[in-house]
Amino acid sequence: MWNEFKAFAMRGPVLDLAVGFVVGAAFGSIVSSLVNDVIMPPIGLLLGKVDFSNLYVNLSEKHFENLAAAKKAGVAVIAYGQFVNRVIDFIIIAFVMFLVVKWFNSLKKPEAPAAPTVKDCPFCFSSIPIKAVRCPHCTSSLATTS
């Protein structure tokens, strides 16, 4: 059983999936940093010095200065600013993955068309196997006409 598992785990697609997962996780953290540290601060500045990661709805009666203070107090909050950041993360990651897949597909050689398996009988114009020497429909001999 161990040998079967080892053979399964060492197949190409499984290793490719593992590598893709690790690279994807690393890429996700880079995009999160890009969104949180590069993209959102200028957008927040343009919208009146708003820190999106600190936007929340307090579900209690008490007032808190920021999201961290509300969470520290154990109050129920809806942190919609962090949700906005995560949505932007997802959109960027999805767009970049679209570009990567599109680029990768452009590198593939176009597949050669498959060799024909049928031909038309020159006498009755029926479709017949390419190797046929006599038409099964009109019984014409095809050996001299191919």
Q: What is the pLDDT of residue 103?
A: 87
Q: What is the mean pLDDT of residues 89-118?
A: 84
Residue at 127: amino acid letter: S
* More confident call, 43 vs 145: 43
User: Is pLDDT above 70 for 35?
Assistant: yes
Confidence of residue 146 (pLDDT cuts 50, 70, 90): very low
- Tell me the two tokens of residue 69: 């203070």
Strand-strand pairing, 77-78 and 127-129: unpaired
Q: Are 53 and 39 in contact (CB under 8 A)?
A: no
CATH number 1.10.1200 given to 2-107: yes
Distance (Å, rounded) from C-alpha 5 to C-alpha 106? 35
Confidence of residue 64 (pLDDT cuts 50, 70, 90): confident
Q: Cβ of 135: how many Cβ atoms within 10 Å?
A: 19
Q: Is 142 helix (H, G, I), strand (E, B) or coil?
A: coil
